[in-house]
Amino acid sequence: MHDLSWPGSYGQENDPHCPAEPETPEPKRRRSGALMLSAEEARHVRVAIRKLRRAFGSFRALSLKTGIPASTLRRAANPKSSPTGTLAIRIASAAGVAVEVLLGGKLVVTTPVIGRAA
């Protein structure tokens, strides 16, 4: 004779899910210490972002040049933000200067003069 209670109701998706092991949340990942900037370097990056925004005309134009979303650049230009080394590298590339110049605060941005030979 067949047992009418086989298979049990637990395999028929009418019971609440009971995991075998309790789910543990993933530990938070920390930023690499190699890409962290000092307070002075972060200030220089924020100033450089604002200068380049003026030189290119908008955050959107700077965004197209760097490949970083405009909202991220706006947030990074905020005095309360802490920009990363990766952002500094991309900003230096867009400005056409070495990263050391950018982090040192010696970035000079000039707007191009139209109608004048270079």
Q: Which domain holds residue 42?
A: 35-104
112 within a domain of the structure (yes/no): no
Pick the range with the lowest mean pLDDT from 29-43, 72-86, 102-116: 102-116
Confidence (pTM): 0.64
- Structural domains in the chain (count): 1
Tell me the percentage of the chain whose pLDDT exceeds 90. 30
How high is the pLDDT of residue 61?
A: 92
Q: Which CATH number fits the domain that encloses residue 47?
A: 1.10.260.40
What's the longest Cα–Cα distance across the chain? 100
30 within a domain of the structure (yes/no): no
What is the tens place of the pLDDT at every residue in 20-75?
666 677 888 776 777 788 899 999 999 999 989 998 889 999 999 899 999 999 99
How high is the pLDDT of residue 109?
A: 66
17 within a domain of the structure (yes/no): no
How high is the pLDDT of residue 17?
A: 60
Output the average pLDDT for the chain.
79
4 within a domain of the structure (yes/no): no
Distance CA 44, CA 59 (A): 17
51 within a domain of the structure (yes/no): yes
Distance CA 54, CA 25 (A): 44
Could you tell me what percentage of the chain is helix, strand and coil, using 3-state DSSP and rounding each to the nearest 5?
Answer: 50, 0, 50
24 within a domain of the structure (yes/no): no
Name the pLDDT band for 82 (thresholds 50, 70, 90): confident
75 within a domain of the structure (yes/no): yes
Judged against a pLDDT cut of 70, whether residue 14 lies above it is answered with: no
11 within a domain of the structure (yes/no): no
Kindly state the tokens that stand for 105: 């605060």
Q: Give the residue-averaged pLDDT of 8-31.
A: 65
